[in-house]
Amino acid sequence: MLQQSLRQLVTGWHSSVLSSQRSDESQLAAQPRLSGTQQKQQGNIVHVLQENLYEDDVKDKARAANCIASLFRQAQHLEPLLSHATLLPTLARVLRDDGKRSVDLCVGIQSVWLVLSNFSQFHQLLVENQVGVLTIDILDLEIKRTEHRVKVR
């Protein structure tokens, strides 16, 4: 029953994303571009945040993932962020390795995937980083956790 309602929720969300996709793509084109200096400063910030994704402490990783997600939510930052060739594969690896240990980390990284999924030109990046499989694995884990909590009560 839970899986069926989850499937309906995802289907409804996917339909709403597809209907708003055209307006999102036009918004992306209309966003102001960052200057060269701003891109360099942002590049340094992203580099530091990406290094924090390699820390041992999951809280540090979650904090870095949420900061990266907040940058991705602003369309003018998408191009400079995506110019970091290792950022998305690093996020995917961290989610795969540590996603089971922290809900905050999952939410931060999944927020990045959500932003990118709204733009059709980034769908190939999501496929290359196996985002769909990772998302389904996380959903399956959370369903199992919920079922276990219900049984324990």
pLDDT tens for each residue of 125-134: 999 999 999 9
pLDDT reported for residue 39:
53
The answer to the question of residue 61 being in a domain is: yes
- 3-state class of 53 per DSSP? coil
Give how far Cα 27 sits from Cα of 45, 67, 74, 82, 101, Å: 25, 22, 11, 17, 36
pLDDT reported for residue 47:
87
Give how far Cα 137 sits from Cα of 107, 133, 140, 143, Å: 14, 6, 5, 10
The answer to the question of residue 25 being in a domain is: no
The answer to the question of residue 22 being in a domain is: no
Percentage with pLDDT > 70 across the chain = 72
Q: Residue 140's domain spans which residues?
A: 36-152
pLDDT reported for residue 126:
95
- pLDDT of residue 152 exceeding 80: yes
pLDDT reported for residue 32:
46
- pLDDT of residue 23 exceeding 90: no
Say how many domains are in the chain.
Answer: 1
Q: Which carries the bigger pLDDT value, residue 31 or residue 35?
A: 35
- What is the Cα–Cα distance from 41 to 15, expressed in whole angstroms? 37
The answer to the question of residue 4 being in a domain is: no
The answer to the question of residue 8 being in a domain is: no
Backbone torsions φ then ψ of 134, nearest 5 degrees: -60, -40
pLDDT reported for residue 96:
95
pLDDT band at residue 97 using 50, 70 and 90 as cut-offs: very high
User: Rounded to an integer, what is the distance from CA 122 to the centroid of its chain?
Assistant: 12
The answer to the question of residue 87 being in a domain is: yes
The answer to the question of residue 30 being in a domain is: no
- pLDDT of residue 30 exceeding 70: no
Average pLDDT over residues 90-97: 96
Beta carbons of 108 and 62 less than 8 angstroms apart: yes
- 3-state class of 143 per DSSP? helix
pLDDT band at residue 79 using 50, 70 and 90 as cut-offs: confident
